[in-house]
Structure 1
Amino acid sequence: MGAGFSGFVAEGSGGDQTPWKQGLGEMPESCVALVLAHLDPPQICKMALVNRAFRLASSADFVWESKLPENYRSLAQMLLDGSPDQLAKKDIYARLCRPNRFDGGTKELWMDKTSGRICVSISWKALKITGIDDRRYWNHIPTYESRFHTIAYLQQIWWLEVDGSLDLDYFPSGTYSLFFRLQLGRTTGKWLGRRVCNLDQVHGWDIKPVRFQLSTSQGHHTMSQCYLIQQGEWLLYHVGDFSVTSSSSSSNSAATIKFSMMQIDCTHTKGGLCLDSVLILPQ
């Protein structure tokens, strides 16, 4: 049978042979769904445009359940309105891909549309910061450069210490990296389409390094340190990596990750630092 043969031959009652072709529109919805289950989410959405059968098959629960993270039920209960059993799996996937605020709007979780892996951003407002309410040291500045629309700006201080924590229940199994999003200097606006950053108060960060630490309730601990040198640009400072296993959230006690940054050498002051957030991203 030739490779270019595009139909089947059916023999009629009169001995006539007529070609019979089956188009994509005649494929059973269940068969289409089995095929779509092997594609990634962007491909599934594209295939839904082929015809009605593909569109209906692309909404099948089993197609999307395989794309959801293993802890999607707990995520849906914590972040979405309603029980996960009351929501279509496609809707859960779509809603998890959007930024989902929690903990009073100080934290945000979203899912990468292609990989289905979880990302979290934690505002400085959810962190414990030495002297944060004393305006001699810190200012709270609204800005378009933060997903939380505000940053903490350090004018000058002797003792810098920032601590935070998060439950590991938000993360499916995998390896993650944690970063502090910082900038030396304060963005004051734009001029001719370019950012303008005031560096007048930047000082003290090249004398002693900042120490970053990360630990989990499972006993993992890592520490790194670096000098803050580059000015006028938002940078992600890598604190460390940690792993989450399915057993991490199955224990009776809540599993957590703790993290911090500090520069507590009181022989000199430091200032001119913008603190936006902590980012946790999958590797």
Structure 2
Amino acid sequence: MLPEDCLSVILSFTSPHDALRSSLVSSDFRSAAESDMVWERFLPSDYPEIVSSSVTPLEFCSKKELFQCLADSVLIDGGNKIFRLEKSSGKKSYILSAKELSITWSSNPLYWTWIPMSESRFSAVGVLRTTDWLEIRGSIMTRTLTPNTTYGAYLIMKISDRAYGLDLLPLETTLEVGNQVSCSKVVLQHRQDKKQMGTLKGIEGNKKQGTVSERGDGWMEIELGKFFSGEDDEQVKMSLTEVKGCHLKGGLVIQGMEFRPKHHGK
């Protein structure tokens, strides 16, 4: 029989998923798996800054409870970002609100309007009223993410039932890291539907970038691309653009941009 401290050290080199499973083995493993030593290692090194930037004060009595709070996602940075830890691995995810993105003419109420939506945790989402120049850009530094992890970048959006002009020409998605640039195209096909606000179809490009899918939270997402967060700190730039059409379009609803770990085959 190993002392509890030794069990805790061993478990700290596994994963949150493995630590939780080991607690079912015996009371000794359960006690070791509850220790702060284990869950301190599963928390990101910058967790004090994340906790202090939470819009709502977090209540926890142990590092395990803190991990669970962060795994449930928290609103941070004045309500402009959502932070979440992946429950199985402890890897970091972020959602930047639409206000954190660079959207052409978004400050002009003739083109964009900002409204609250009950389906969004952010105070406001961006709704495209009309434009002939659609350009949405975002960026993140890899130092804020989990090192040595493959991430996907996703634009979270909907299409309103009054949308028009979005399906006339394909939009281009771009992801840039250093000198590496990947591009693809996506067509927004809008139609009336009781179950969802529009449908989308990815075309060209690779199998994943430019594809669209329905999320579990009722929104839809366009995969802008994937990248690897290595040891070096690099800026990752993403965009969705359609600037050559010179035709009016409207009805696109933007909640934000998400960066989350990708898994094999997904």
SS in 2 for 1:33: helix
CA RMSD of aligned residues (A): 2.9
Residue 39 of structure 1: how far off its partner (Å): 5.9
Report the Cα distance in structure 2 between the residues aligned to 1:273 and 1:49, rounded to whole angstroms. Answer: 48
SS in 1 for 2:248: coil
Deviations 1:136-175 (A, max 9, x none): 2212121122232532111211111112222211112211
Unaligned stretches of 5+ residues in structure 2: 54-60, 192-196, 199-218
Larger Rg: 1
Report the Cα distance in structure 1 between the residues aligned to 2:49 and 2:235, rounded to whole angstroms. Answer: 16
Equivalent residues, number: 229
User: Conserved in 1, the CA contact under 8 Å of 2:101 and 2:136?
Assistant: yes
User: Conserved in 2, the CA contact under 8 Å of 1:76 and 1:92?
Assistant: no
Matches within 5 A, 1:1-283: 28-30=3-5, 32-33=7-8, 36-37=11-12, 40-42=15-17, 44-45=19-20, 48=23, 53-68=28-43, 72-73=44-45, 75-81=46-52, 90=64, 93-172=67-146, 173-185=148-160, 199-200=161-162, 202-216=163-177, 218-231=178-191, 232-233=197-198, 234-246=219-231, 248-249=232-233, 255-283=234-262
Matched with 1:16 is: none
SS in 2 for 1:164: strand
Report the Cα distance in structure 1 between the residues aligned to 2:138 and 2:14, rounded to whole angstroms. Answer: 38
Report the Cα distance in structure 1 between the residues aligned to 2:66 and 2:143, rounded to whole angstroms. Answer: 17
- One-letter amino acid matched to 1:245: G
SS in 2 for 1:272: strand
Report the Cα distance in structure 1 between the residues aligned to 2:114 and 2:108, rounded to whole angstroms. Answer: 10
Work out the percentage of aligned pairs sharing the same amino acid: 28
Report the Cα distance in structure 1 between the residues aligned to 2:21 and 2:227, rounded to whole angstroms. Answer: 35
Report the Cα distance in structure 1 between the residues aligned to 2:33 and 2:245, rounded to whole angstroms. Answer: 61
**When the two structures are superposed, what TM-score results if normalisation uses the length of structure 1?**
0.70
Unaligned stretches of 5+ residues in structure 1: 1-25, 186-198, 250-254
**When the two structures are superposed, what TM-score results if normalisation uses the length of structure 2?**
0.74
User: Conserved in 2, the CA contact under 8 Å of 1:27 and 1:53?
Assistant: no
Residue 178 of structure 1: how far off its partner (Å): 0.7
SS in 2 for 1:63: helix
Segments of 4+ moved more than 6 angstroms: 49-52
Report the Cα distance in structure 2 between the residues aligned to 1:54 and 1:267, rounded to whole angstroms. Answer: 64
